[in-house]
Structure 1
Amino acid sequence: MADLFKPQITREGSASTRLIAAIQALGYNPGGNIVRATVTSEPPNLSISVDTDITEKLSDIPSEGLVCNPDLLAHTMSVKIDGITRTIEFPNRLTKGTKIYAFEPEHGQLLYILTLAE
């Protein structure tokens, strides 16, 4: 009886396919969609275009309408290794033409950039 409510998560496919399956099984919100998009302009003026099956191109979504995973943007981190403080620099990963996955909630006011696509 314990397995009746245990979510079934697929272990097949690419990393992004497994991530989407886990989100859907464990915390899927039916009020939105996970979409694939393309970066059309790099930060600080980040903009993206949602990929669709429709032949017409959707207009770019400017940075004011985006909430981005901070790990995808250029940043630095200070760490202590063997008692010595080091600074690690992470590059901007949202370059023009990069494919990403984003969450589009049903209210449609913001788009949440989650991760890079393959």
Structure 2
Amino acid sequence: MSAFKPEIIKEGDGVTRLLNVIEYVGYNPDGRIRTATVTSEYPNFRIRVTGDTVDTPSQGITSNPDLFNRTETVKIDGVTRTIEYPNRLVVGARVLVFEPAHQQLLYLLTMGV
């Protein structure tokens, strides 16, 4: 891998450009972006990185909590409402993760490809 920060690519499909921008903004010369699949849902959340033979448990994953099933109480025009967020990380869902060089944690970036 190059020791220089990557350049922004302005060609290619949307996924290629998105991955390039993520690499540019979150530059880590020894880390890489990989695809993964959800293998078990919350509360025993697990994912398997493409090419790996072992699942990564929730203790090894950092993720946006809005992707999990939850509720939130808000006040709209003086009226209290409850918003329910569905579980988006269901078995079989494809996701993009960042795997830093130390490989201690996976960072779940976005829903998949």
TM superposition score normalised by structure 1:
0.78
- Number of aligned residue pairs: 107
Could you tell me which residue of structure 2 aligns to residue 27 of structure 1? 26
Q: Which has the larger radius of gyration?
A: 1
| Percent of aligned pairs with the same amino acid | 51
Could you tell me which residue of structure 2 aligns to residue 18 of structure 1? 17
Say which of 47, 63, 72 aligns to 2:67. 72
Structure 1 gap segments, 5+ residues each? 1-6
List aligned pairs for 1:58-97, cutoff 5 A: 58-97=53-92
Secondary structure in 1 aligned to 2:90? coil
CA–CA distance in structure 2, aligned partners of residues 116 and 101 of structure 1: 6
Task: Give the CA RMSD over aligned residues.
Answer: 1.9
Structure 2 gap segments, 5+ residues each? 1-6
Moved over 3 A (4+): none
What amino acid does structure 2 have at the position aligned with 1:49?
Answer: R
Secondary structure in 2 aligned to 1:58? coil
Q: What do residues 16-71 of structure 1 show as CA deviations (whole Å, max 9, x unaligned)?
A: 4333222222331112111100011111101111113xxxx511111221112212
CA–CA distance in structure 2, aligned partners of residues 105 and 35 of structure 1: 11
TM superposition score normalised by structure 2:
0.82
Is the CA contact 1:72–1:115 (under 8 Å) kept in the aligned structure 2?
A: no
